[in-house]
Structure 1
Amino acid sequence: MSDRMVEYGGAMDRLRPLFPKSHGKPRVDDRRVLSGIIFVNRNGLRWRDAPREYGPHKTLYNRWKRWNAMGVFIRMMEGLATGKAEPQTIMIDATYLKAHRTAFELRLKRGSGRLIGRTKGGMNTKLHAVTDRNGRPLDFFMTAGQISDYTGAVALLDSLPPAEWMLADRGYDADWFREALEEKGIKPCIPGRKSRAKPVKYDKRKYKRRHRIEIMFGRLKDWRRVATRYDRCPTVFFSAVCLAATVLFWL
């Protein structure tokens, strides 16, 4: 049974302050329930298919829904990242997450509120991310699939940590973005678009580290519930992304 429980070298000691306080009757074992939630999200199972070692599936589902509404899984990632990040160099990029038909087939409660849009690859959600120099996620922002990378850059700009360099691909080559970074004291390391009349100089040696954010997206998509979006509610799906990032990179 222990091999299915959250271990990660004292992870529960670091996570416990981020959980909501128990009132009245003591809560069911947090470690067991969190382990069950992680198992279901990693493997993309129905809640009723969770192994019995994790306890009643209704307990797992109710805790998942309640903590999602309270923003617990988002706070877990942000709380652990704050103390362990190495933000001397940060990176920004975006990726597509395919939406299953169960996430968008009903015709109203859908629309822009669900953050699902049509692209050449079908119906997708776009995940924008900022990471530290090692490719560990610091912040996420989610939009519909057809939304420009610039929208995500604007949303994440104010929450950027103090850093010396920002690495990004040509999709973020815009004068306003470079100027905004420089106002924050961050040097942009972004190659120029081929359509630019005047080539942009950038540190090619430093730019080689940008593959780490691509690796981060690939590892996130190893989680079945992240690689394919089944959730109609965007906040539930966003919590699944934050939980995967916490387990993969910060525990």
Structure 2
Amino acid sequence: MNSTTIGGRPPSCHRMLTTGMIYVLRTGCAWRAVPPDFGPWETVYSRWRLWCSKGVWEKILKYLARGRTGALRFIDSTHLKVHKDAHGGCGGKELQAIGKSRGGLNSKLHAVVDGKGRLVRASLSPGNVHDAKAAPDLLAGLRGVRIVGDKAYDSGPLRDTIHRSRSRHCIPSTARRKIPAPFHQGYYRHRRHVENFFQRIKRNRRIATRYDKLADTYFNFILLAACLDWLATS
């Protein structure tokens, strides 16, 4: 049968819809404010939700992360201010990764980057979750590398977890530790790579301020920004 005789709605252009998603990421605008140049906003949004549910951005990031370089992995976290429009997600604030810290209601992004500051692993938690508590799940499966973090990760159980994965750590000790653990100051000086990553992705207004009620939707914007960052810095 000739394809021209097949009925139904013609497929939307993936490139056009993806560009619309990137527009929302960069400007932080509401979905209804997406310019018609990218297609109907309902189509852009529905395709975004579909791809999020299928884990498209996570799969793309995993593919890109195969190109990670070096044996150093830098870990840190950053607070993300929650806009009042992001309140009221299903299941309550904690389930939607919103918690109260000194700066008010925040989400916290935990990230592991490679030697060039490109995202390898990430997770989202309420803003009041301690870094050392979120780190074990984030580092699970990373083997044969050196984890570089600040004093917030000075935890005996975390150090043991890193050793069991046949990795090493470069984490300075807090003042409460009687016998300070040694760490490589040369490696520690390069911890700026993870801070620079946070700075780059926060140039996207949709990330700098959280407008999304659902943690999954917001986290996928972070993954999209990380994928774009990989392409820009590779």
TM-score by length of 2: 0.90
CA shift for structure 1 position 45:
1.1
* Aligned-pair Cα RMSD in Å: 1.8
After superposition, residues 201-220 of structure 1 pair within 5 angstroms as 201-220=182-201
- What amino acid maps onto 1:63 in structure 2? R
For residues 91 and 243 of structure 1, do their structure 2 counterparts lie closer, same or farther at Cα, with a shift above 3 Å needed? same
Contact 1:90 1:163 in 2 (8 A): no
Identity of aligned pairs, percent? Answer: 33
Give CA deviations for 1:83-124 in whole Å, capped at 9, x if unaligned: x111511111111111111112x3874232111001110000
* 3-state DSSP of counterpart to 1:114: coil
CA shift for structure 1 position 25:
6.9
Contact 1:81 1:250 in 2 (8 A): no
Give the equivalent residue in structure 1 for 2:179: 198
Give the equivalent residue in structure 2 for 1:3: none
Inter-partner Cα distance in structure 2 for 1:113 and 1:199 = 37
Inter-partner Cα distance in structure 2 for 1:69 and 1:25 = 23
**Mapped pair 1:146 → 2:139:** no
CA shift for structure 1 position 38:
0.5
Give CA deviations for 1:188-228 in whole Å, capped at 9, x if unaligned: 11111112112222111111110110010111111111111
Give the equivalent residue in structure 2 for 1:89: 72
Give the equivalent residue in structure 2 for 1:72: 56
CA shift for structure 1 position 59:
1.5
Contact 1:33 1:54 in 2 (8 A): yes
Inter-partner Cα distance in structure 1 for 2:89 and 2:46 = 27
After superposition, residues 111-150 of structure 1 pair within 5 angstroms as 111-150=93-132
Give the equivalent residue in structure 2 for 1:21: none
Contact 1:87 1:163 in 2 (8 A): no
**Mapped pair 1:235 → 2:216:** yes
Inter-partner Cα distance in structure 1 for 2:121 and 2:62 = 7
Contact 2:89 2:213 in 1 (8 A): no
Structure 1: runs of 5 or more not aligned: 1-23
- What amino acid maps onto 1:135 in structure 2? G
- What amino acid maps onto 1:43 in structure 2? T
Inter-partner Cα distance in structure 1 for 2:111 and 2:90 = 28
Q: 1:223 aligns with which of 198, 204, 217?
A: 204
Q: 1:175 aligns with which of 151, 156, 170?
A: 156
Structure 2: runs of 5 or more not aligned: 1-7
Inter-partner Cα distance in structure 1 for 2:171 and 2:103 = 26
Contact 1:93 1:213 in 2 (8 A): yes
Give the equivalent residue in structure 2 for 1:184: 165
Q: How many residues align?
A: 225
* 3-state DSSP of counterpart to 1:113: coil
Inter-partner Cα distance in structure 2 for 1:164 and 1:108 = 38
